[in-house]
Amino acid sequence: MRSRRVNAVLVLVVVTLLTASAASVDAMMSWSRGPQHQRERTIWDSVYSAEQAERGDSAYKQLCARCHMENLAGSDEAVELTGSAFVGSWSGQSLADLHDRIRTSMPTDTPGVYGRQQIVDVMAYMLRYNGFPAGAAPLTHESDVLREIRFLARRP
């Protein structure tokens, strides 16, 4: 009697799996593996939009270029925001770290005057300028989301 019940449960599980959509099965399998198996989001995952980078270009020229230069090369008083030194110094950190650094220390003569949206727009421009791919959705200024996106120098 017990083996019949076990067999009936197994048949029910198999029938359920066979009739489930591929997306449902994939979601169930992803859930069963747990969060440690989910791939981390990085700046290589197209985390900003081209339109946002355009807004960031305008904001950068208006707010940042006076110190960091129009070509992001920096000056005696301001670090470069492009190239291997810049990318390498931020590699492994989150976009929240970069956002917080800009928010709390820029501009050096009046830190904290830029809005969160202005900062992420400028960050999108910096990502585009450094060759990271754009996507369909703009980068958000929400700290929890920015904390989950890693700045990686090399494509994973």
Q: How many angstroms separate the CA atoms of 7 and 128, rounded? A: 57
pLDDT: which is higher, 115 or 8: 115
Distance of CA 14 to the CA centre of its chain: 38
Q: What is the pLDDT of residue 19?
A: 41
Q: What is the pLDDT of residue 122?
A: 98
Q: What is the pLDDT of residue 111?
A: 95
> Tens of pLDDT along 107-129?
999 999 999 999 999 999 999 99
Over residues 39-64, the mean pLDDT reads: 97
Q: What is the pLDDT of residue 29?
A: 44
Beta-carbon contacts of residue 117 (< 8 Å; ≥ 6 apart): 141
Work out the burial of residue 106: count CB atoms within 10 Å of its CB; fewer than 13 is exposed, 13-18 middle, 19 or more buried.
buried
Tokens coding 130: 């450094």
pLDDT: which is higher, 15 or 132: 132
Q: At what angle do helices 116-129 and 95-105 cross, to 10 degrees?
A: 120
Indicate the average pLDDT of the chain: 84
DSSP label at residue 150: E
Where residue 142 falls (left for φ over 0; alpha for ψ -120 to 50; beta otherwise) is beta
Q: How confident is the model at residue 7 (pLDDT cuts 50, 70, 90)?
A: low
> Tens of pLDDT along 83-96?
999 999 999 999 99
> Tens of pLDDT along 15-34?
444 444 434 434 444 444 44
